């Protein structure tokens, strides 16, 4: 098995590709191997796995956890397709307030490494999606935070005209009013 690691336009966000072995039954792939991730420059200890099922037109995010519970995430789509977005909320970073997006799908075998200090969200493309992600700190409801998905400062070109959004996400603050993520 092997992985490749491709930094995106914000180099701390990394596209992770894995080798898939296909045969008449389907395919086999590894989704994580610590030694190979370390060799690829990602030193993360995962402590919780999450699985989210979303219907068509759903937009989730942009979510993060404040320190000391800030989370790094390894995001993979098991079924369906999503427009996945990471926003740099590290105030000392040269890319603060910038975002990077990538389309992930259950067919591609790709995932994203999103380090602590980033808000994360995605829009479901098509009939629905199952998204799995590993995180580096356990969920802490008292440290849970977010940024509005439609913040004009970010100007993210979400591919949905009328997304299905939770009440919580509708009430998130804009980037200028968000609490520090790192």
Please state the CATH superfamily assignment of the domain spanning residues 3-177 in this structure.
Jelly Rolls (2.60.120.10)
Alpha helices in 6-62, H assignment, sequence order: 34-39
Beta strands in the chain (DSSP E): 3-7, 14-18, 21-23, 26-28, 48-54, 59-65, 73-88, 99-105, 110-114, 118-135, 144-146
- Give this prediction's pTM: 0.95
Check 64, 120, 122, 133 and give the catalytic one. 133
Check 21, 63, 120, 122 and give the catalytic one. 63
Q: Is 120 one of the annotated active-site residues of the chain?
A: no
- Residues 110-129 have pLDDT tens digits of 999 999 999 999 999 999 99
The pLDDT > 90 percentage for the chain reads 93
Q: Is 133 one of the annotated active-site residues of the chain?
A: yes
Q: Could you tell me the residue ranges of all domains in the chain?
A: 3-177
């Amino acid at each position: 098995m092997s992985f490749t690691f491709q930094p995106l336009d914000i180099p701390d966000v990394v596209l992770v590709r894995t080798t898939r072995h296909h045969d008449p039954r389907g395919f086999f792939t590894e989704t994580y191997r610590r030694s190979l991730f370390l060799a690829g420059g990602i030193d993360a200890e995962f402590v919780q796995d999450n699985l989210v099922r979303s219907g068509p037109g759903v937009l989730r995010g942009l979510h993060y956890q404040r320190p000391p519970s800030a989370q790094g995430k390894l995001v993979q789509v098991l079924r369906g397709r999503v427009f996945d977005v990471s926003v740099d909320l590290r105030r000392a970073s040269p890319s603060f307030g910038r975002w990077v997006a990538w389309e992930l799908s259950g067919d591609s075998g790709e995932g994203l490494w999103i380090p602590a200090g980033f808000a994360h969200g995605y829009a479901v493309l098509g009939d629905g999606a199952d998204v799995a992600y590993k995180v580096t700190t356990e969920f802490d409801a008292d440290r849970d935070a977010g940024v509005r998905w439609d913040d004009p400062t970010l100007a993210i070109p979400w591919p949905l005209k009328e997304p299905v959004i939770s009440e919580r996400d509708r009430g998130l603050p804009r980037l200028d009013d968000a609490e520090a993520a790192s």
